[in-house]
C-alpha cells in the first residue's frame, strides 16, 4: 500500500513538471514571435503579380485653404423687370420664356393713340419756334435801333424761350418712350412704342399676351443674365480674421466635383448678420470657369489662405481601416518577402492627387498601390 502511494506521488510530480515545461516553451515562442506579428508579409511574387508600387513621402507645394459653403446669386445688374412707360395695348409679342434676347432687341410694342397727339403737338411747337425765332431776331434788331421798347423785345424772347423749353420737355418724354424726336414728321406719325431689352439675357417671365391692355410701370416681363453672378459666403466669427479682399477662391458645384470656377474675394461686408451670426463676403469669377454655375444653387468654396511646402503622398496610399487612416510602411525586406507595418497617419489636406500628411515618415517607402486588399 505504501508502494502504491509512492508511485502515485511520483506520477503527479512528473505530470506537473511536463505541463510546466510546456508552458515555459510556449512563453518563449510568443516572446520570440511578437515583434514579427505586427508585420504584413507580402511575397515578391505577390507584389509583382498585383502590380504593387512603392513611393516615398515628398515635399509638395500646398495651398492652405479655408472651406466654406456658399450660394450663387445674380448681380444687381443681371435682372431686369420690363414695363411700359405708358398705358396701351400689347402688340407684336413673340418672345417666349427661356429665349435669349440681346440688349436693345424689341420685345413687344404698346399701342396708344395719345402718342399721335404728342407727336402732333411736338410738330406744332417746332413750327411755332421757327416763327418765334424770326420774331425775336426782328425785335432784337429794332430794340438795338431804339425802334421798339424793351418790353416788346423781352416779350419776344420769353415766347421763344418758353417754346424751346416745351420742345425739350417733349423730347425727354419721347426718350422715355423710346421714340426718336428726329424721326417725328407729319408723314410718319405712329401710335406704337417699342419696348426693348435693357440687358442681354434669358427671358424668365412673361405675364402679358397680344391684345392685352396694360398700365404703365407694371411688370410685364423679366429678363435675367445667368452668367452675371457672384458667390455669397457666410463667415463665422472665428474665421473672420482669415478673410481678405483679393484672396483666390476655388468654387466647386456640389453636383460636379470635377468642375471648378476660379474667383477672388471682391467685397466683404463689415457687418454681422444677426440671424445666422455670420459676416458676408462676395466672390466674383470674371468668367474664369470650366463649369456653369446656376443662380440659386449651393456650392463649396475653397478659399486659398497661402502657399507652403508640406509632406505628401499619393492619396490612394491612405487606407481607411475601421475609421482610422493608415499607411503601409515598408519596414524591411529580404530575398523573398516585403514586410509592411500599418502606421496611423494624419491627413491635413489634398493637392491634386496627393494627400498632405502630418509626418514625413523619416524617408521610408510607402505602399501606394494594392494596400487596400492587404488590409481586408
| pLDDT at 101 (0 to 100) | 95
Burial group, residue 35, by CB count within 10 angstroms (0-12, 13-18, 19+): exposed
| pLDDT at 306 (0 to 100) | 79
| pLDDT at 4 (0 to 100) | 42
pLDDT in tens, 111-127: 999 999 999 999 999 99
**CA separation for the pair 263, 243 (Å, rounded):** 14
- Regarding predicted confidence, which is higher, 205 or 350? 205
**CA separation for the pair 185, 126 (Å, rounded):** 11
The dihedral over CA atoms of 64, 65, 66, 67, expressed in degrees to the nearest 10, equals -140
**Contact between residue 351 and residue 60 where contact means Cβ atoms under 8 Å apart:** yes
Max CA-CA distance within the chain? Answer: 177
Burial group, residue 355, by CB count within 10 angstroms (0-12, 13-18, 19+): buried
pLDDT in tens, 172-190: 998 888 888 888 888 888 8
**Contact between residue 209 and residue 90 where contact means Cβ atoms under 8 Å apart:** yes
Q: Among 23-27, 206-210, 255-259, name the one with the lowest average pLDDT.
A: 23-27
pTM, rounded to two decimals: 0.58
Asked whether the predicted pLDDT for residue 342 surpasses 80, the reply is yes
Q: Could you tell me whether strands 58-74 and 229-236 are parallel, antiparallel, or unpaired per DSSP bridges?
A: antiparallel
Residue 182 DSSP SS3? helix
Closest CA to 204 of 189, 219, 216: 219
- In sequence order, which residues have a C-beta less than 8 Å from that of residue 199 and are 6 or more positions away? 77, 78, 80, 103, 223, 225
- Helix, strand, coil percent content, the chain, rounded in steps of 5: 30, 40, 30
**Contact between residue 339 and residue 374 where contact means Cβ atoms under 8 Å apart:** no
pLDDT band at 291 (very low <50, low <70, confident <90, very high): low
| Mean pLDDT, all residues of the chain | 83
CB count within 10 Å of CB 38 equals 12
pLDDT in tens, 21-59: 444 433 333 334 345 578 899 999 999 999 999 999 988
**Contact between residue 105 and residue 196 where contact means Cβ atoms under 8 Å apart:** yes
Asked whether the predicted pLDDT for residue 10 surpasses 90, the reply is no
pLDDT band at 145 (very low <50, low <70, confident <90, very high): confident
- Local structure of residue 52 (DSSP, 8 states): -
Q: Could you tell me whether strands 58-74 and 298-314 are parallel, antiparallel, or unpaired per DSSP bridges?
A: antiparallel
Burial group, residue 204, by CB count within 10 angstroms (0-12, 13-18, 19+): middle
Closest CA to 340 of 25, 36, 21: 36
Tell me the backbone φ, ψ of residue 148, rounded to 5 degrees: -115, 160
**Contact between residue 106 and residue 92 where contact means Cβ atoms under 8 Å apart:** yes
User: Which of the given ranges, 204-213, 254-263, 287-296, has the highest pLDDT on average?
Assistant: 204-213
Block residue for cell numbers 418712350: 177
Closest CA to 371 of 332, 323, 315: 315
Amino acid at each position: 500500500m505504501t508502494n502504491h502511494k509512492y508511485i502515485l506521488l511520483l506520477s503527479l510530480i512528473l505530470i506537473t513538471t511536463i505541463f510546466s515545461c510546456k508552458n515555459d516553451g510556449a512563453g518563449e515562442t510568443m516572446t520570440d514571435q511578437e515583434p514579427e506579428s505586427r508585420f504584413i508579409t507580402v511575397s515578391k511574387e505577390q507584389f509583382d503579380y498585383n502590380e504593387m508600387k512603392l513611393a516615398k513621402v515628398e515635399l509638395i507645394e500646398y495651398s492652405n485653404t479655408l472651406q466654406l459653403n456658399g450660394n450663387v446669386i445674380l448681380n444687381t445688374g443681371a435682372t431686369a423687370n420690363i414695363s411700359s412707360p405708358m398705358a396701351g395695348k400689347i402688340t407684336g409679342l413673340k418672345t417666349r420664356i427661356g429665349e435669349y434676347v440681346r440688349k436693345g432687341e424689341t420685345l413687344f410694342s404698346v399701342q396708344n393713340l395719345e402718342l399721335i397727339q404728342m407727336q402732333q403737338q411736338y410738330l406744332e411747337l417746332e413750327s411755332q419756334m421757327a416763327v418765334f425765332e424770326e420774331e425775336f431776331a426782328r425785335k432784337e434788331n429794332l430794340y438795338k435801333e431804339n425802334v421798339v421798347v424793351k418790353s416788346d423785345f423781352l416779350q419776344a424772347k420769353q415766347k421763344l424761350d418758353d417754346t424751346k423749353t416745351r420742345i425739350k420737355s417733349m423730347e425727354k418724354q419721347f426718350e422715355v418712350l423710346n421714340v426718336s424726336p428726329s424721326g417725328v414728321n407729319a408723314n410718319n406719325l405712329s401710335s406704337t412704342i417699342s419696348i426693348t431689352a435693357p440687358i442681354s439675357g434669358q427671358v424668365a417671365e412673361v405675364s402679358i399676351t397680344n391684345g392685352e391692355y396694360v398700365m404703365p410701370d407694371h411688370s410685364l416681363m423679366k429678363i435675367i443674365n445667368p452668367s452675371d453672378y457672384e458667390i455669397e459666403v457666410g463667415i463665422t466669427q472665428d474665421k473672420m480674421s482669415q478673410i481678405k479682399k483679393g484672396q483666390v477662391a476655388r468654387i466647386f458645384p456640389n453636383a460636379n466635383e470635377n468642375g471648378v470656377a476660379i474667383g477672388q474675394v471682391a467685397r466683404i461686408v463689415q457687418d454681422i448678420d444677426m440671424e445666422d451670426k455670420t459676416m458676408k463676403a462676395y466672390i466674383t469669377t470674371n468668367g474664369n470657369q470650366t463649369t456653369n454655375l446656376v443662380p440659386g444653387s449651393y456650392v463649396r468654396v475653397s478659399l486659398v489662405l497661402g502657399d507652403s511646402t508640406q509632406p505628401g503622398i499619393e492619396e490612394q496610399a491612405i487606407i481607411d481601416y475601421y475609421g482610422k487612416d493608415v499607411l503601409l510602411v515598408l519596414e524591411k525586406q529580404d530575398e523573398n518577402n516585403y514586410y509592411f507595418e500599418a502606421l496611423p497617419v494624419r491627413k491635413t489636406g489634398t493637392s491634386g492627387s496627393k494627400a498632405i500628411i502630418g509626418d514625413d515618415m523619416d524617408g521610408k517607402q510607402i505602399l501606394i498601390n494594392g494596400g487596400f486588399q492587404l488590409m481586408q
